[in-house]
Amino acid sequence: MEKQRTIAKTVSFSGIGLHTGNPSTITFKPAPANYGYVFVRTDLEKPIEIPALLEYVVDLSRGTTLGIGDVRVHTVEHVLAALAGLRIDNCRIELSANEPPVVDGSSIAYVEALLEAGITELDEEREYFEISETVRYTNDEKFVDIVALPNPEYRLTVMIDYFNPALGSQHTGLFDFEKEFISEFAPARTFCFLTEVMTLYKQGLIKGGSLDSAIVINDTEISDKDLLMLQDVFKLEKPPKRGDNGILNGEILRYKNEPARHKLLDMIGDLALIGVPLKAQILAARPGHASNIEFGKKIRSLYLEKKKEEKLYPQKNKIVLMDIYQILDIMPHRYPFLLIDRVSSFDDDNDTIIAYKNVTINEPFFNGHFPSKPVMPGVLILEALAQAGGLILFYKIPDISGQLAFFMGIKNAKFRKPVTPGDQLVMEVKLISKKFNTYFFDGIAYVDGNIVAESEFQAAIVER
């Protein structure tokens, strides 16, 4: 199994933000396992941490912006592409402003800084989300089509076509991150069309842009007056040249298909916001930040659903922490009042247990509740939650033999849906706090992933 990775030491460098024009220092710091990527605005009186996840995307104006409340971090995709491309799973990313330095408009400066810091393995195994069925996003108006196909490795193929003679139709593919990412994709620079420059400038964007941080493709006739205007926009000492190769100032591309490679680089960064490394073949026609994010949301939704299923139905992976015989050895309850059949997990760090009750037509209470329409009494669902809470105490209290847990109170009990024969009651109970010999719990009961009941309750430990 592969291990999670982080960097070995802290590393920093400074520059100017592409769209904000703000001076900025980015600092990469090592992070523990399962930390993920987190951006931190250290320039604020109280530093704000923003997880690099799709839920925090707040703007997609020529870049991907994350935010919490009024706090923003602009243009995160090149930073995230560097981290994901190097297979670094966990990193704390501190910023002295609201945007990372743009440098040359690619990811290579971030890659070089991270390699300088060194990469180290952690003890925890790396988790992957493996695509098991086709996932597709289509935007007919913008001719965008993105597909994820099952594949044991993470591979990306991108095609772009802007109907421009200087750019043409281009495609590229990344099939081996270890061999190709650093040399073939990390140096690919961002690009825009000449007709977009003034629009972006009037929108208050590209304040830190220059001809050293982007490729400007000439897609229109340009007058001497326009060149003087561009000199002002890019703060140049003299007007730029039209360029015989269709690129302003005659800039030579690093790769023949550099724009397509940069679009693939952007996609790596945007899809890193899913929050887990992928195993999939991604095929993308004319992708952009907005389409990347919408496509990523589809995959993240599938991933979160899978995590929920693993939590509520670990029997799919044949995980059994405590079977009925072990439960009978511990619990004082017996027929017809033992309401736990199995325990699948106990999280000691969060004091949380997952337990099960299989509800059958043979339950004695169905004879009277109700003969014509059998429904499990709500108070028995609460009792089942309480019994699961009692099993938490078995794990937490070194010697609980000779003691009993008595109900002391129920608070905020809610019953959402009826539980009927054939249902499997999945109970998630968390120990919240303790005061003397009284313990406080939160409990939620599910059937088929839907909440059927929830309550806060407390129990006291007394001698038998």
289 is catalytic: yes
pLDDT of residue 287: 96
> Among all chains, which residue has been given the structure tokens 């076509």?
161
**One domain, residues 28 and 78:** yes
Find the catalytic residue in 19, 74, 289, 333. Answer: 289
CA atoms of 307 and 125, how far apart (whole Å)? 16
Are 200 and 337 in a shared domain?
A: no
Can you give the pTM of this predicted structure? Answer: 0.72
State yes or no: cis peptide before 287, omega within 30 of 0: no
CA-to-CA dists, residue 327 to 188, 356, 416, 425, angstroms = 59, 12, 28, 17
Query: By the 8 A CB rule, do 452 and 387 touch?
Result: no
Look at strands 37-41 and 424-435 and give their pairing: unpaired
Q: Domain for residue 34, yes or no? A: yes
**Confidence at residue 237, expressed as pLDDT on a 0 to 100 scale:** 80
Residue type, 263: K
* Contact criterion met (CB below 8 Å) for 177 and 34: no
Q: Are residues 168 and 294 in the same domain?
A: yes
Do 212 and 180 share a structural domain?
A: no
CA distances from 82 to 85, 187, 228, 254, 426 (A): 5, 10, 36, 18, 41
Task: Note down the domain range covering 445.
Answer: 324-463
Sign of CA dihedral 108, 114, 120, 125: negative
**pLDDT, tens only, 254-303:** 999 999 999 999 999 999 999 999 999 999 999 999 999 999 999 999 99
CA distance 207 to 74: 13
The whole-number mean pLDDT for each consecutive block of 10 residues of the chain, a chain of 464 residues, reads 94 92 96 97 96 97 92 97 98 97 96 98 96 96 96 97 80 97 97 81 74 83 82 81 84 94 98 98 97 98 89 59 89 93 88 94 94 95 95 80 84 96 95 92 94 95 82
pLDDT at res. 228: 86
pLDDT at 324: 92
Same domain, 181 and 214: no
Of 253, 273, 292, the domain-final residue: 253
Rg (CA), the chain: 28
Give pLDDT tens digits for 44-81: 999 999 999 999 999 998 799 999 999 999 999 999 99
| Number of separate domains in the chain | 3
Q: Are residue 115 and residue 93 in the same domain, yes or no?
A: yes
Report the first-to-last Cα separation within the chain, whole angstroms: 47
In a domain, 312, yes or no: no
CA distance 57 to 77: 11
- Does 183 lie in the same domain as 221? no
Q: Is 333 in the active site?
A: no
Asked which of 233, 253, 273 is the last residue of a domain, the reply is 253
Look up the CATH number of the domain holding residue 292: 3.30.230.20
- DSSP-assigned letters across all residues of 122-182: EEEEPP-EE--S-EEEEEGGGTEEEEEEE-SSEEEEEEEE-S-TTT-EEEEEE--HHHHII
| CA neighbor of 186 nearest in space, from 285, 261, 133, 74 | 261
Q: Are residues 230 and 354 in the same domain?
A: no
Does residue 133 sit in the same domain as residue 213? Answer: no
Q: What is the pLDDT of residue 318?
A: 46
Position 393 scores a pLDDT of: 87
Tell me, yes or no, whether 16 and 77 share the same domain: yes
How much is the pLDDT for 319?
53
Q: Are 295 and 285 in contact (CB under 8 A)?
A: no
Q: Phi and psi at residue 282, in whole multiples of 5°?
A: -100, 125
| Pair 300, 411 in one domain | no
